Amino acid sequence: MVQERRLTPVERLANRSGYMGSAFLMVSPYLLPYEGVGAYTYLVGAVLSMPQVWVAKQWNIVALNFNLLVGYGIYIYTAL
């Protein structure tokens, strides 16, 4: 009934970077009060999780990550 499918190397790499990006995104709210460190970790998390959602074709999460990149990019730009 269910076909066993192996992940391609691109999918495996995207999944691993996505896990690391998710970890950065989970830690970021707690780091936000510390002189903008949280904003940088938000950006790193969004960049690292983007390949996973792009390969999986989860376009709503791609749009959400793009929004996160733009928002915190502006935040960092105005803080400098």
pLDDT tens figures, 2-11: 888 899 999 9
- Tell me, yes or no, whether 4 lies in a domain: no
Over range 12-26, report the average pLDDT.
95
Q: Pick from 60, 22, 17, 56: which is nearest to 41 by CA? A: 22
- pLDDT at position 45 over 90: yes
Q: How many CA atoms lie within 13 A of 24 on its CB side?
A: 22
Indicate the average pLDDT of the chain: 91
pLDDT tens figures, 66-75: 999 999 899 8
- Tell me, yes or no, whether 45 lies in a domain: yes
Confidence of residue 23 (pLDDT cuts 50, 70, 90): very high
Domain count, the chain: 1
Over range 23-37, report the average pLDDT.
89
Which residue range forms the structural domain that includes residue 46? 11-79
- Tell me, yes or no, whether 65 lies in a domain: yes
> What would you report as the CA-atom Rg of the chain, rounded to the nearest whole angstrom?
15
- Tell me, yes or no, whether 47 lies in a domain: yes
